[in-house]
A and B are shown apart, each in its own frame.
Chain A
Amino acid sequence: EAAVTQSPRNKVAVTGGKVTLSCNQTNNHNNMYWYRQDTGHGLRLIHYSYGAGSTEKGDIPDGYKASRPSQENFSLILELATPSQTSVYFCASGEGGSYEQYFGPGTRLTVL
């Protein structure tokens, strides 16, 4: 059973549109993370959360919002999508006292 799942797996959006990427984890981990992966940059942290109701800015938060309504769910929201946000997005979860993280399968987002 996959412990971190993401939806949708693929998404095509138009410039200026709103995009919501969803993540669900069954690890019962306190921490959850959103990264994006681009060629030449590895994975970069966008937002993260320490638990339900908490969101924190990562290294590249501009243009993104996050929402953590429950222990299991963590969403990444692009209010006004731009072509520069075309990327592969990964969600991860981790225990509060450890930096070990477990990743979902990724969402490929294309903004036209």
Chain B
Amino acid sequence: EAGVAQSPRYKIIEKRQSVAFWCNPISGHATLYWYQQILGQGPKLLIQFQNNGVVDDSQLPKDRFSAERLKGVDSTLKIQPAKLEDSAVYLCASSGGLETQYFGPGTRLLVL
């Protein structure tokens, strides 16, 4: 079974630029999550989708972050404009329901 795929793996941008991350969950998984993990901390949930609907986006900085999952499969997370403090690893995870979450390898973002 293929795991959660994410791209790109690494991204370096300057502050105030825009960036987008892509996630392809495990086939058949209805729930998709985006996490932000700052160095030395545990992952923090940014947004959770159930199919193509948002279940929880209470910790998403909506003034600069946006995410979509239009067809209930792939998802993109966008930051516009980026700030220095957005430097982190962005993890995507999926689950088949209220059970184990499977994480992708993450995208490491560095904002200069």
A and B assemble together: no
Binding site for B on A (CB under 8 A): none
